[in-house]
Amino acid sequence: MATNQQRREAAKRKLERQLVRRAERAKRRKIIGVGVTVGVVVVVAGLVVVLSTQGGDDAAGQQPNESSSAAPSSEQIDIPTQRVQPAARPGPLPNPATCDYPTSGEPAKPVNPPNGQNVSAQGTVNVTLQSTVGDIPLTLDRALAPCTVNSFVSLAEQGFYTDTSCHRIGTTGLQMLQCGDPTGSGSGGPGYTFADETFQQLKYGRGILAMANSGPDTNGSQFFMVFGEAPLSPDYTVFGTISDEGLKVIDDVARGGHDGAFEPSPGGGKPNTEVKFTGVTVG
């Protein structure tokens, strides 16, 4: 028969095992923002947030692991319906702008850097991402981020995004769909980078279109579309908005869940419903 001392020691060991399991579960649930991978070397990131390499981009945090945990079911995913106020700069930028696109890493697809001279910092550009799950119309705002819009339009017109699948979706904590890497790994980019176009008043939430990055001034081709909550610091360049039609498409993808490939950090995984761009229309 066990003594009181033995029973106390057994109870203590049981409690310690329970605390360890709880800590592991909490760690798996933790979502760390959006990040980006650049070029060839994958790094850690923070949103969309940080994955990094040297010349690409990704809104993740670290490379996908072997986790097979699934995202919440449609009944468990809480998607806000209220759009956030579109971003607006406190003051206008110089017009025209001059943009620099230095070489960084190997491009995931053959592509030329955009012309960075006499870039307009006024007006908007309508873009439609045609995908296997439906069209996602976007409005790009040159006044917010002229160099970013210039790069995105250039990549779209060169076919960089065509036949590219979105590699990561987050459904809790940071609710966004991350795209723009032709390799589908989260580490591919266009072979060049460009500077952030951020400001302290930036807020993120439903309807916002922003660039993924791996730290200051490491933007490339990867971007993320926010369909819900996005508790991020103002470190990610906002360059437009997503239409209501596009948000409905993304909502359906989110309800389909993900494969947990980016758990526990930065969170999320590859969408269970594939989102592949079949074409991009500019204008």
pTM for the whole thing? 0.78
Q: What is the pLDDT of residues 224-246, one digit of tens each?
A: 999 999 999 999 999 999 999 99
Structure token digits, residue 209 = 């279109």
How does residue 76 score in pLDDT terms, banded at 50, 70 and 90? confident
Q: Which pLDDT score, from 0 to 100, does residue 57 have? A: 53
One-letter identity of residue 171 = T
The pLDDT mean for the chain works out to: 82
Q: What is the pLDDT of residues 136-178, one digit of tens each?
A: 999 999 999 999 999 999 999 999 999 999 999 999 999 999 9
CA distance 276 to 12: 52
Domains and CATH numbers, the chain: 34-283 (2.40.100.10)
Query: What length is written for the chain?
Result: 283
Q: If you ran DSSP here, which 8-state letter would residue 61 be given?
A: S
Least confident span in 107-121, 187-201, 261-275: 261-275
Asked whether the beta carbons of 151 and 194 are under 8 A apart, the reply is yes
Q: If you ran DSSP here, which 8-state letter would residue 271 be given?
A: B
| pLDDT of 113 above 90 | yes
Q: If you ran DSSP here, which 8-state letter would residue 277 be given?
A: E
> DSSP per residue over 170-229, as a string?
E-SSS-EEEE--TTSSS----SB-B-----TT----TTEEEE--SSTT-B-S-EEEE-S-
Structure token digits, residue 5 = 């001392």
